[in-house]
Structure 1
């Protein structure tokens, strides 16, 4: 992760984003992005490493989980999902398995599974 997000700012953005999504609306892009990056930061703190890349376009990506390191090109273990799905699985609103079964989580590689690391505790 590039710049660390302040906990109070991250929690405020996450709450505002979850409220907007729950109401069926679309959160402001700046809050949406901050919420996504904050949760990616928490995942990085919980499972530091560089064997799995978690991508939430267009807001952010992070390499996590200890294991074999890759140095060039696409990592062998990649997880990608949209922002709403990331927020749902990271906060426990939806389980990893349910999101993956619905096809909203795209994962490749033998280590590309986050069920044991989620939900995060913001």
Structure 2
């Protein structure tokens, strides 16, 4: 299952690089006191926040990072869903049930959580403890595969 078209790979790489640079800049601003009291949460009205990036940048960053994960851990045993921009199947294991096409292990994440993990800005354990990851099945921990960049 392709998460990104081959012709879009360069744009996807640029988008992921842009997202990561913006997220690091926003994190640095929080650490050094930037926007303290006004917008310390890095919301959409903060120009240095990834939330302020265009929707296409988010979509391409997610799709490209899913492509990277597909190539790092090929297989059909775990479905990783990052709605609304993509879903992939990775890791060896039992394939999809022929009746519903969903593998026994499913992981769902919001785009910001996924990209934070991909870029190494947070860890699987942190995001799981915060309740930001929905994972069902025996292989519900991708911490050995992350970060990707």
1:82-121 correspondence runs (5 A): 82-121=110-149
Structure 1 residue matching 2:88: 3-state secondary structure: strand
Give the whole-Å Cα distance in 2 for the aligned partners of 1:33 and 1:71: 28
User: RMSD in angstroms over aligned alpha carbons?
Assistant: 1.5
Q: In structure 2, list runs of 5 or more residues that go unmatched.
A: 27-47
Name the stretch that deviates more: 49-58 or 15-24. 15-24
Contact 2:77 2:96 in 1 (8 A): yes
Name the stretch that deviates more: 67-76 or 28-37. 67-76
Following TM superposition, by how much is the alpha carbon of 1:20 offset from its aligned partner in structure 2, in angstroms? Answer: 4.3
Following TM superposition, by how much is the alpha carbon of 1:69 offset from its aligned partner in structure 2, in angstroms? Answer: 1.2
Structure 1 outlier segments of 4+, above 6 Å: none
Contact 1:51 1:70 in 2 (8 A): yes
1:51 aligns with 2:77: yes
Give the whole-Å Cα distance in 2 for the aligned partners of 1:31 and 1:71: 34
Give the whole-Å Cα distance in 2 for the aligned partners of 1:85 and 1:63: 18
Structure-1-length-normalised TM-score: 0.89
Which of 57, 65, 86 is the aligned partner of 1:60? Answer: 86
Which of 17, 20, 44 is the aligned partner of 1:18? Answer: 20
Larger CA Rg, structure 1 vs 2: 2
Residue 79 of structure 1 corresponds to: 107
Provide the aligned length of Structure 1 versus Structure 2.
120
